[in-house]
Structure 1
Amino acid sequence: MRKHPLNCGCGGLAGRCGGMPPWVDRHRGHSVTERDLEEFAGYLRGMKERTGRSYEALAKRAGISSSAIHRYCSGKGLPADFGTVERIAKVCGAHSDELLELHRRWIRAEAAQAWAKAEGAPTVPRDAAGAEPTGSSAGPSAEQEPAATGGEPVEDDPAAPAPPSEEPEKRPAGPARFSSIPFVRRWLTVAVVALSCSGAAAVGTAALMSTTAAAPGPTTPAPSASPEDGRLLLSRACPPIMALGEHDECVRELQRILLKAGGLVQVDADFGPGTLRHVVAFQVLAGMEPNGLVDDATKRMLYQNTVKMIRWSPAKVEGRIREVFPEEPDRAVGIAKCMSFLDQYYSLPNVDGTRNWGVFQISDRRLAELGGSPLRAFDPEWNIQAARRLWSQNRDFSHWENCDQTYRRSESPDPKGGSTSSPAPGKKKPSPSPSPGRDENGR
């Protein structure tokens, strides 16, 4: 039986069980990191193969280099943030259940990587969004990738990637089904699960104590909402805490309220990444802790109908970016589109529990340095001006190195023979590798 390295009785995390390193599967000899990475890569590869598109075709639609997508699908690299994975999955037609499963597999791969690194085990490169490999080639080029068999190849579409929202209820056949999660590979997800379970347990315990105390005399039922009073989320039909991964009418009700509040969420009863982003945005605007969990306080605030997601149109956001970055307006707009699809309420979590916020996805660490907050970061004017301040430090876009590389690569192959990949005169050319602490993840 495979023993978990954190509970093997042989020295804990740094110990050894049976003379074998703890990151090695005792039966197969495979590293935990390799198995987790292959589970993630295989799921993503399945999405790619069913489209019939080449790596190059997907790269154009997702705004990510073809070599990076190939690395992720072959298990030779791991994206540093889930936003990169989500863009690839979206252009592959992934529905919300698949996005959720892909997110779980990415978290497990990230967890195994961090643990193996701490133990001195071999790891694979953790790629940033769309980053090109340096040195040797990462694999076959997009031109060498054959079209997938089993169906007609799909024509490449020059249209931009779809905005970040939930997918419709009509669902294509997905790759693999949900897989079991060995204990060694879910240490990052256990916090969310424990929080949800503890909330449910607390509510259940309180209800039991109330019933027991009231048993000797007349009972006085505690006031609670029912579906008839129009507040389904507060009724017993819905769980005390709603979170990522649920699929029921309670989630549909949540999505309807968010849509009424000005959100762009798809009403499909799936609590996926898009719904999670809307919940986080709502909590920020309501002055609540932005944890993405729909607890009793969040439900009651939703029904108060006092929070409105007033937003700028993408055209207005783009126009303002061009005004604030007159030196390189196209480049600034390209980076913002890569980061947030010009959605002022866009946010993405990082593995360490922090988040990136707003149009230019400014990290929690940068917000602290700039005297901002998530609420201020959701103001497009403040976010764009904050990005200008970061740009002014070196008069370049090195704070968004990964999306900047993606933009420059997309501009360099000019069919007319020109090239826009060279920096403007007098501008410092960004380094081909991310600068320490300067990527869009705030690391």
Structure 2
Amino acid sequence: MQPNPTQSLGDVTTIAEFRSRLRQLKAWSGHSFRALERRARLAGDVLPASTISAMLGNQRRGLPREETVAAFTRACGCTRGQTSAWLQTRKRLAVTAEQAAHSVVASSKGTDPPAASAASGSPPSDTAPPLPLRSGDPTTASRAPKARRKRPKRGWRVLAMSSMTLVALCSAAGSSGPVVTSDPRAGDLVSEVRRCPGQLAMNHRGPCVQRLQRMLRGKGLALPADGWYGPFTKQRVTVFQAYVGLPTTGTADQDTLQALRTGEALALPHWPAARIEERLREAFPTEHRQATELARCLSYLDPLWTYKDGRGVRRWGLFQYSDLELLEMGASPVHAMNPEWNIRTARVIWRRTGDFRHWECRSSGAH
């Protein structure tokens, strides 16, 4: 068995090397993407298999998010100290990347970057940010303050004017379309504002998707804000649509986005895996192990799990009741995503048949 890559983190100096070590860690763990997702869920983390795949893939070049690295390393079997070492390495690389970015900005303005000044033998006071000046200081009172005050003031003025321009345009446009402005004073700030499409769907990427994910989190739905509209994001959009009475398409259309912008957080069930297992022991005292394994296979013990099979039939909750079954029961997907209702209904079916033949467990990835 290959050694744990945590032991060689001190040699990592680039983001590419860090991502390579993460791939080595997955290989060391011996777990598949789905197994890591399951292990993370049992530990109380949110780590979809799609997020792991994107983090370890070659399409992205930036640093993974801190919470993603923490959940991933824990799922791989790292101890608390090893997870801390991964996070410290990530922090070190983030600081290095930020310093490099500042050097580029300084060079574009015609000034020496901090690293270059240090290499030329300049004293530390020239490379470090200037300290606040005390009144009456005869050595520096006449020089640095004016130059240091003008830049932030101008920057804040540009930022404020850009923000007011964006707000005005948003108010004028309502929800009809994206924001565009040609105000030359906004500079690079406004040029970075992207046009968000009328709807967001599978495999969309970028800040528009990240904003959608944060809006879903604001409604109480747990998911990473990684900027990728993958299967797990589609699943959470579907859950939100079911709760607010919209068609459960899994696509964030205009009606869905409007509903996300208004209203309060959803009254969602927040049952950790331990509580679900305890309730299953109560409901199935003689076969609680089989009931737990079945629910874990069907839904990863996630009360909000929804899955559309190959025939286009969508299923809901811990024991994955189909839309047709819910219709016959006079229930809705919201009922099915209530863990107490879901477990009680499973017990009724179990008592009627005498076993768990009603269910067939297959890999139920998020769709």
* TM-score of the pair, normalised by structure 2: 0.50
Larger radius of gyration: 2
